[in-house]
Amino acid sequence: MADDPPYRRVLLKLSGEALMGAQPFGLDGDTLRRLARDIATVHADGVELGLVVGGGNIFRGVGGAAHGIERASADFMGMLATVINAIALQGILEGAGIATRVLSAIPMRTVCEPYIRRRAIRHMEKGRVIICAGGTGNPFFTTDTAASLRAAELGCDALLKGTQVDGVYSADPKADPSAERFDRLSYQEVLSRDLRVMDASAVSLARENGIPILVFSVHNPGALGDVVRHRGRFTIISGRRSDEGE
């Protein structure tokens, strides 16, 4: 069918801030339920779906280091925050009838499974949504890098980055109304222009593995399903330059 999703398996990166809604910190129930509905729509289409979730709504390692906590310790605290978010998402998704597994790079068997690549792939093949928590399990790496790493390890066809805006801009559009929005960029353009949609390690890893990055607004209901079908507003980052068009 012409409307079938073009991707068999995708990895969705959600920042911790995406789970806050209008709250100044923590988790917003309405936002979690809306995200669950969007995920359920994609899951119902037969797309194998993995998530990597951040923890910035609870604790951010860089911020902790700025307050005097040793950086590695602060990063581990941030990784633990991602596990809290992953368990919250799991509860909402399973309440919606979607089989879900949380896999953490930091083993904590009482509350979730350890991340094991082959086990994660098997879960996805069985139709379960997996939520990868704990970042890479190492300090000094962001959850963006963890998302790119998991997308490569799991053989994903695309890496979806849910953000606060509807694509990649030349500057923060909230601070600079004249910022240029891009429909398509190459990996090299993102790196050379320092566009900061994801950190350089994440973009480089996606480039090395030929995984396109699709950047969209996570706040628009139904946007996830549209992006998976290549509809709606998003920026695609791939090996093609912005001036090459479709």
Mean pLDDT confidence for 121-133: 98
Which residue bears the tokens 């390690």? 201
163-199, pLDDT tens digit by residue?
A: 989 999 999 888 898 999 999 999 999 999 999 899 9
Q: How far is CA 221 from CA 20, 76, 226, in A?
A: 15, 32, 10
Give me the pLDDT at residue 174, please: 85
29-70, pLDDT tens digit by residue?
A: 999 999 999 999 999 999 999 999 999 999 877 777 778 899
Examine the pLDDT at 94 and tell me if it is beyond 70.
yes
Give me the pLDDT at residue 242, please: 57
Examine the pLDDT at 104 and tell me if it is beyond 60.
yes
Mean pLDDT confidence for 212-238: 94
Examine the pLDDT at 226 and tell me if it is beyond 90.
yes
Examine the pLDDT at 243 and tell me if it is beyond 70.
no
E strand intervals along 29-77: 48-53
Mean pLDDT confidence for 144-158: 98
**The token pair that represents 39 in the structure block:** 């995920």
Give me the pLDDT at residue 212, please: 97
Residue 235's identity, in one-letter code, is T
- 125 or 196: whose pLDDT is higher? 125
How much is the pTM? 0.92
Give me the pLDDT at residue 1, please: 39
Please report, rounded to a whole number, the percentage of residues in the chain having pLDDT higher than 70: 95
Q: Long-range contacts: 193-196, Cβ < 8 Å, 24+?
A: 195/168, 195/169, 195/170
Give me the pLDDT at residue 114, please: 97
Give me the pLDDT at residue 2, please: 45
Give me the pLDDT at residue 241, please: 60
Give me the pLDDT at residue 244, please: 56
Give me the pLDDT at residue 52, please: 98
- Fold that domain 9-197+204-211+218-244 belongs to in CATH: Carbamate kinase (3.40.1160)
- Please name the residues in contact with 139: beta carbons below 8 A apart, sequence gap of 6 or more: 61, 71, 72, 75, 76
**The token pair that represents 57 in the structure block:** 């709504």
Examine the pLDDT at 245 and tell me if it is beyond 70.
no
